[in-house]
Amino acid sequence: MAQRKTKSIYTCSNCGYQSPKWMGKCPDCQQWNTLVEETVPSSKGKTHRIGESHAKPLRLKEIASQDEPRKQCGISELDRVLGGGIVAGSFTLIGGDPGIGKSTLLLQAIDQLSRNGKTLYVTGEESCLQVKLRAERLGVNPEHLFLLAETALETIFDKVRDVQPDFLIIDSIQTMFTTQIESAPGSVSQVRECAGQLMQQAKNSNLPTFIVGHVTKDGSIAGPRVLEHMVDTVLYFEGDPGHPYRILRAVKNRFGSTNEIGVFQMSDCGLREVKNPSEIFLAERPEDAPGSVVIPSVEGSRPILVELQALVSSAPYGTARRTAMGIDHNRVSLLVAVLEKKVGMSLLSHDIFVNVAGGVKIDEPAADLAILAALASSHLNKSVPRRTVVFGEIGLAGEIRAVSQPELRIKEAARLGFERCLLPTSNSKNLETPSGITLCPVATAQDALDQLFDH
Ligand code: TYD
Ligand code: MG
């Protein structure tokens, strides 16, 4: 009997890069030791059959348009991140570190969803009893929730046909496997194939599907990054384990805006929505402390005030340390260089620490001016004046450049009782200023520091 030939291929478990030979470092994502061997059946002898499908091209105007009917899950932070609710037949990936709260969030979302229709929750990680105990603790008691502890994809498809759910949740994709592929559950090819088949089911039967994917730093389980291009929506649930705040971020959304965020707080009875994140992030701010600055940052359509802290202290040994948390350290290095060269502040022999309070991450250039102000404030040991916020991008020549959505930022700052706002000159034209806040346009880094510290 002729044996079916198989060949080996090495796949990066982090990014999905494939290579015919093993390598220590993935040339694509630069991670070490992530290439794992997988066997794939030889494609020799397989012929692609053409002409089987009955799909035919349609004129755009022939396609019946329908308003995407969206279903709300009752958690407004989640609905907003999804773009206004769940679209029929949509396929959503919720990624995040293990233990961050993905299962908890979905269980809470099911509560409302299952009042309108049937939900099938497939768990590959916990037993049905464990899920039930958790649901009870969360006060989730929906009538139409069906639990299934199963990892074989083929069985899951059978059960979906039996139950005919209105929503399907797969927790997690790394535990699922299909018998069509030989490699172990969690390997890149299994994860990709399972997600592909689930996606097809979602589209064919118009079944909204959520899949949970763990991201691990060492890449030992296939990261959901290999799935990002397949799915409709990618939500990342992030947060610092030491802080109760969790941020749900849309990084891709075919049915809504990306970079929309939802803020939650983990409590002993599950996740609670945080409607006023600015107030919480500023609650513990030490006023008049040198090095502390408030930034009105914008996430999607939402302004959030966060506190940025810097500590500049003289380095006792030769090499100075530069540490940045919640912010890109390259940005900090750039701004240190601007302070050295354009303002004449010598930071070369100083340790520099920058941190965003509350475990928040900021990755917009509008934070530049705040980083610069925090560094200068700590170095000069002078606090930034009370009730002042700053925003603006800084160029290499020390110039302050315009950023997006200045009005939103100023409005949120005024709402929280801030009285002064330093902003780029080019942003300050034709702006409606809310009452109670004074705008101070600044054009250069030096200009900004003069305004803040009479430097
Ligand atoms: P979980 O949803 O199991 O995380 P994931 O599915 O992302 O792996 O969340 C587990 C964490 O959440 C765990 O560390 C405990 C915490 N938690 C609470 O603090 N309160 C609660 O009510 C629940 C259900 C979980
Ligand atoms: Mg879980």
Ligand 1: nearest atom to the Cα of 212: 6
Cα(77) to ligand 1 centroid in Å equals 18
The closest ligand to the CA of 121 turns out to be: 2
Ligand 1: nearest atom to the Cα of 106: 2
- The two tokens of residue 165 are 């759910």
Cα(247) to ligand 1 centroid in Å equals 14
Largest CA distance in the chain: 88
111: pLDDT strictly greater than 60: yes
Cα(126) to ligand 1 centroid in Å equals 13
Per mean pLDDT, which range of 8-17, 76-85, 187-196, 328-337 is the poorest? 8-17
> Which residue do the tokens 């206004």 mark?
84
Per mean pLDDT, which range of 220-229, 261-270, 346-355, 438-447 is the poorest? 220-229
Contact between 190 and 177 under an 8 Å Cβ cutoff? The reply is yes
The closest ligand to the CA of 268 turns out to be: 1
- For 25, 328, 354, 369, 397, the CA distances from 322, given in Å and listed in that order, are 27, 11, 8, 18, 22
Task: Please state, in angstroms and rounded to a whole number, the distance separating the CA atoms of residues 4 and 164.
Answer: 38
Residues within a 6 A CB radius of ligand 1: 96, 98-104, 134, 137-138, 266, 268-270
Which long-range CB contacts under 8 A does 250-257 form with residues at least 24 apart?
250/81, 250/82, 250/83, 250/300, 252/228, 253/82, 253/83, 254/90, 255/68, 255/82, 255/83, 255/87, 255/90, 256/81, 256/82, 256/83, 256/84, 257/83, 257/300, 257/301
pLDDT bucket at 350, cuts 50 / 70 / 90: very high
Determine the average pLDDT of the residues in 266-292: 86
Q: To the nearest whole percent, how much of the chain has pLDDT over 70?
A: 92
Cα(100) to ligand 1 centroid in Å equals 6
Ligand 1: nearest atom to the Cα of 266: 19
- The two tokens of residue 28 are 């694509």
- Burial category of 177 from C-beta neighbours within 10 Å (exposed 0-12, middle 13-18, buried 19 and up): buried
Topology (CATH) of 280-453? Ribosomal Protein S5; domain 2 (3.30.230)
Provide CB contacts within 8 A for 310, sequence distance 6+.
291, 293, 352, 353, 354, 355, 371, 374, 375, 377, 378
Cα(104) to ligand 1 centroid in Å equals 6
- Burial category of 40 from C-beta neighbours within 10 Å (exposed 0-12, middle 13-18, buried 19 and up): middle
Ligand 1: nearest atom to the Cα of 100: 7
Contact between 323 and 353 under an 8 Å Cβ cutoff? The reply is yes
Determine the average pLDDT of the residues in 217-234: 69
Determine the average pLDDT of the residues in 195-210: 93
Cα(221) to ligand 2 centroid in Å equals 15
Determine the average pLDDT of the residues in 351-379: 92
Cα(216) to ligand 2 centroid in Å equals 13
Cα(85) to ligand 1 centroid in Å equals 23
**What are 324-338's pLDDT values in tens digits?**
999 999 999 999 999
In sign, the C-alpha dihedral spanning 446, 447, 452, 455 is positive
Neighbouring C-beta atoms of residue 33, cutoff 10 Å? 13
Domain boundaries, the chain: 8-40, 70-275, 280-453
Nearest CA to ligand 1 atom 1: 101
261: pLDDT strictly greater than 60: yes
The closest ligand to the CA of 106 turns out to be: 1
- Burial category of 246 from C-beta neighbours within 10 Å (exposed 0-12, middle 13-18, buried 19 and up): buried
**What are 376-434's pLDDT values in tens digits?**
999 999 999 989 999 999 999 999 999 999 999 999 899 888 999 999 999 998 888 88
**What are 50-86's pLDDT values in tens digits?**
555 677 888 888 877 666 678 888 898 899 899 888 9
Nearest CA to ligand 1 atom 2: 101
pLDDT at 225: 66
220: pLDDT strictly greater than 90: no
Mutate to test the pocket of ligand 1, among 104, 174, 248 (most ligand atoms within 8 A of CB): 104
The closest ligand to the CA of 135 turns out to be: 1
Provide CB contacts within 8 A for 77, sequence distance 6+.
248, 262, 263, 264, 273, 274
> Which residue do the tokens 């701004």 mark?
335
pLDDT bucket at 31, cuts 50 / 70 / 90: confident
Nearest CA to ligand 1 atom 8: 99
Per mean pLDDT, which range of 215-229, 244-258, 344-358, 430-444 is the poorest? 215-229
Mutate to test the pocket of ligand 1, among 102, 266, 269 (most ligand atoms within 8 A of CB): 266
pLDDT at 1: 47
Class of domain 70-275: alpha beta
